[in-house]
Homo-oligomer: A and B are copies of this chain.
Amino acid sequence: MPTIEEESGTTVLRRTAEHQPPRSWRSWLIGRPLRTADAPDQAIGKTVGLAVFASDALSSTAYATDEILFVLAAAGTAALVYALPISLAIVALLAIVTLSYLQTIHAYPGGGGAYIVARDNLGGFPSKIAGASLLTDYILTVAVSVASGVAQLTSAYPSIFPYRVPLAIGMVLVMMVVNLRGVKESGAILAIPSYFFLAMMLLTIGSGLSQYMMGSLHTVVNPPQGREHVAQSISLFLILHAFSNGTTALTGVEAISNGVPAFKEPRSRNAGITLIWMSAILGTLFLGVTFLAGKMGATPSETETVISQLARTAHEGRGYLYIFTIAATTLILIMAANTAYAGFPRLSALLAADGFLPRPLTYRGSRLVYSRGIVALALIASLLIWLFQASVNALIPLYAIGVFLSFTLAQAGMAHRWWKAGHLSPEQEAQEHGSILRHDPRWALKMVINGFGALCTAGVMLIFTVTKFRDGAWLVILLVPILVAIFSAIHSHYRDLAAHLSLEQYGGPPRISRQRVILAISGVHRGTLAALRYARTLSDDITAVHICTDPVEAETLNRKWESWGDGIRLVVLDSPYRLFLEPLLGYIEEIAARRQPNEIITIVVPQFVPRHWWHNLLHNQTAMLLRLMLLFKPGIVIIDVPYQIE
């Protein structure tokens, strides 16, 4: 039912469009379109939220302990005792990072994360770096986790090795479709493998611990062959290297802070509790694995993972429980990609809303997710997988630098925020771009904690960069500034455009006092006459133009024009090079050059429309090309007068 408002003489009718999206292959694939008003129903609770956002973080427990042991093993078996203290330090860092993001989630209920924190507390340039590094890392998360999942499959079934690239790209596309179905539905689908992994890990660690308590814990039977290496001495550098390697456990922790708006109200509270759960589970699993690895004497090896050694020791052999644990681990490694599917589109929509990425990325598709961001992520990740031929070894050095860069910026931003909060008077409130700032009596302590966290994550990032530089980290170091430059270019385009379209201090367009019409004709037929009829409603100053490549044809045209042309002037332009567009454009430009300021030139192009679109293959698409070339000339309007062949 339309509502009519009439204000200051302008009638405004408002009504709801009745268009119902029809059932189609799209609704079969991704589900029925959802109304904008349905958005609150699509919000997710804590259980699903944990599955959606935690899979990346939790999956890292599958390899983080191995990463520490590998480094320590270089100094001999004795050095392995340092694994537990190092893991404790990493969990402490995890706690700091979690605390920082918890504050962020409450401060920025519209979705925060490193980009927003940096934007509001550090300024434009750091925020762009945070955005660029996170986007890069989300793309790498998809590529690496899917490639590692495929690698697990190809080591089980070597015959599928030649098909690994299409297989990996297929998985990326399946995840794309699942995510296009909406957060709620994809969360429900993905909750199963996530909780399955969690259950198997708790079971394995729990059974290991209880055996340890009762003194019945065995050491690993037939431990795999460790790496051959030159024995190093235990040094601070070695310990730091092991520490930084182990911090891969932290990747994915930032995802929830970007995804706050996906949660049910009270959003911040729900997201915050989910984050605490996630960190607690991550810390527990990680410490549990490291502790048991030490007690069982698990050996870091390229042929068998620590998880596998742990599982077959705790479950006493390769029975069902062992197989389930390994299967769950493989699944969660692939599922880690899903966290990126949740994070990338939200972050790119935030960046697009601020004018740093193409605005269409803010568009929410039929299932209320940022579908263009999801598709873009799938395409870029597929390209990356294809370029690197789904090789995990080639992709992994690119990974994690971006995450730690964004951690550093987020923590530094929070530290600066505490500084600002400390310098407010107790009752004062300050409205910032994306949050409200209040005084906090313990600002100094919090600032120190976040500052220390920032130093730690910056250190880890530097170690990563240096140790992996030649293996491919340089690519990320190159990519982030390129992305930042692209952000700036896009931003200046939008700013420029807004300035040019702005109505501030604009006097209105000049009046049109004269219309000149050029009717481009290739022959005289019913379509031409329909266009001529339309042209007559525009102006009396009409010129028909025909480009002639065949003198015989031009003769026929002249004759027909005399009887049907309504007395309109006809210009026949001979085209010695058989070109069509160029002479016509030349003629139009000639007319346009003599244009008065208040004169407008209208080009009328008859366009006959065949019954089926593919019939267009049988005809020259002159009208379309002409439009594309004339668009850039000021003062020219192009009119297609379609003539439908019934």
Let me know if A354 is at the binding interface, CB within 8 A.
Answer: no
Q: Is the CB of B10 within 8 A of A570?
A: yes
Let me know if A423 is at the binding interface, CB within 8 A.
Answer: no
Residue interface bits A556-593, CB-to-B below 8 A is 1, else 0:
00101110110111111111111100110011000000
| Residues of chain B contacted by A501 (CB below 8 angstroms) | 525-527, 608, 643, 645
Q: Is the CB of A8 within 8 A of B562?
A: yes
CA distance A524 to B498 in the complex (A): 11
Of the candidates B33, B365, B493, B526, the one whose C-beta lies within 8 Å of that of A610 is B493
Q: Pick the interface stretch among A393-401, A454-462, A627-635.
A: A627-635
Looking at the assembled complex, report how far the CB atom of A610 sits from the nearest CB atom of chain B, in whole angstroms.
7
Q: Is the CB of A618 within 8 A of B358?
A: yes
Q: Is the CB of B561 within 8 A of A10?
A: yes
Let me know if A146 is at the binding interface, CB within 8 A.
Answer: no
| Residues of chain B contacted by A536 (CB below 8 angstroms) | 512
| Residues of chain B contacted by A618 (CB below 8 angstroms) | 358-360, 490, 493-494
Q: Pick the interface stretch among A16-24, A80-88, A185-193, A331-339.
A: A16-24
Looking at the assembled complex, report how far the CB atom of A9 sits from the nearest CB atom of chain B, in whole angstroms.
5
Let me know if A63 is at the binding interface, CB within 8 A.
Answer: no
Looking at the assembled complex, report how far the CB atom of A594 sits from the nearest CB atom of chain B, in whole angstroms.
16
Let me know if A549 is at the binding interface, CB within 8 A.
Answer: yes
Please provide the chain A residues from 487 to 525 with a CB less than 8 Å away from any CB of chain B in the complex.
Answer: 490, 493-494, 496-497, 500-503, 506, 508-509, 511-512, 515, 524-525
Whose C-beta in chain B lies nearest to the C-beta of A362? B550
CA distance A645 to B8 in the complex (A): 31
Q: Is the CB of B16 within 8 A of A573?
A: yes
Residue interface bits A25-49, CB-to-B below 8 A is 1, else 0:
0000000011111000000000000
| Residues of chain B contacted by A280 (CB below 8 angstroms) | none
| Residues of chain B contacted by A515 (CB below 8 angstroms) | 537
CA distance A506 to B528 in the complex (A): 13
Known: A21-B582, A363-B578. A36 touches B525 (CB 8 A): no
Q: Is the CB of A644 within 8 A of B634?
A: yes
Of the candidates B365, B575, B627, B637, the one whose C-beta lies within 8 Å of that of A17 is B575
Q: Is the CB of B538 within 8 A of A526?
A: no
Whose C-beta in chain B lies nearest to the C-beta of A500? B645
CA distance A51 to B626 in the complex (A): 41
Let me know if A428 is at the binding interface, CB within 8 A.
Answer: no
Looking at the assembled complex, report how far the CB atom of A527 sits from the nearest CB atom of chain B, in whole angstroms.
6
Of the candidates B359, B530, B607, B615, the one whose C-beta lies within 8 Å of that of A493 is B615
Q: Is the CB of B570 within 8 A of A35?
A: no
| Residues of chain B contacted by A574 (CB below 8 angstroms) | 14-17
Q: Interface size (A, Cβ < 8 Å)?
A: 105
Q: Is the CB of A586 within 8 A of B17?
A: yes
| Residues of chain B contacted by A609 (CB below 8 angstroms) | 631-632
Q: Is the CB of A637 within 8 A of B639?
A: yes
| Residues of chain B contacted by A560 (CB below 8 angstroms) | 503
Known: A358-B617, A538-B537. A586 touches B364 (CB 8 A): no
Let me know if A638 is at the binding interface, CB within 8 A.
Answer: yes
Known: A570-B10, A642-B636. A506 touches B526 (CB 8 A): yes
Looking at the assembled complex, report how far the CB atom of A571 sits from the nearest CB atom of chain B, in whole angstroms.
5
What is the copy number of this chain in the assembly? Answer: 2
Q: Is the CB of B572 within 8 A of A12?
A: yes
Q: Is the CB of A533 within 8 A of B512?
A: yes
Whose C-beta in chain B lies nearest to the C-beta of A640? B638
Q: Is the CB of B615 within 8 A of A33?
A: no
Let me know if A7 is at the binding interface, CB within 8 A.
Answer: yes
Q: Is the CB of B33 within 8 A of A577?
A: yes
Q: Is the CB of A631 within 8 A of B615?
A: no
| Residues of chain B contacted by A503 (CB below 8 angstroms) | 524-526, 529, 560, 564
| Residues of chain B contacted by A21 (CB below 8 angstroms) | 577, 579, 582
Let me know if A171 is at the binding interface, CB within 8 A.
Answer: no
| Residues of chain B contacted by A549 (CB below 8 angstroms) | 36
Let me know if A366 is at the binding interface, CB within 8 A.
Answer: yes
Q: Is the CB of A534 within 8 A of B637?
A: yes
CA distance A375 to B295 in the complex (A): 72
Looking at the assembled complex, report how far the CB atom of A572 sits from the nearest CB atom of chain B, in whole angstroms.
5
Of the candidates B33, B502, B633, the one whose C-beta lies within 8 Å of that of A526 is B502
Q: Is the CB of B610 within 8 A of A497?
A: yes
Q: Is the CB of A558 within 8 A of B509?
A: no
Please provide the chain A residues from 211 to 237 with a CB less than 8 Å away from any CB of chain B in the complex.
Answer: none
CA distance A538 to B5 in the complex (A): 26
| Residues of chain B contacted by A525 (CB below 8 angstroms) | 501-503
Whose C-beta in chain B lies nearest to the C-beta of A358? B618
CA distance A422 to B429 in the complex (A): 110
Whose C-beta in chain B lies nearest to the C-beta of A7? B562
Looking at the assembled complex, report how far the CB atom of A29 sits from the nearest CB atom of chain B, in whole angstroms.
16
CA distance A529 to B510 in the complex (A): 10
A sample of 18 inter-chain contacts (CB < 8 A) reads A13-B571, A14-B571, A17-B582, A359-B619, A360-B619, A366-B578, A490-B618, A493-B610, A501-B645, A502-B525, A503-B564, A506-B526, A506-B529, A609-B631, A609-B632, A631-B640, A634-B644, A639-B639
For the complex with contacts A36-B576, A366-B578, A515-B537, 10 further pairs of A-B residues with Cβ separation under 8 Å are: A15-B574, A358-B619, A360-B620, A500-B645, A500-B646, A502-B525, A503-B560, A509-B529, A512-B533, A637-B640
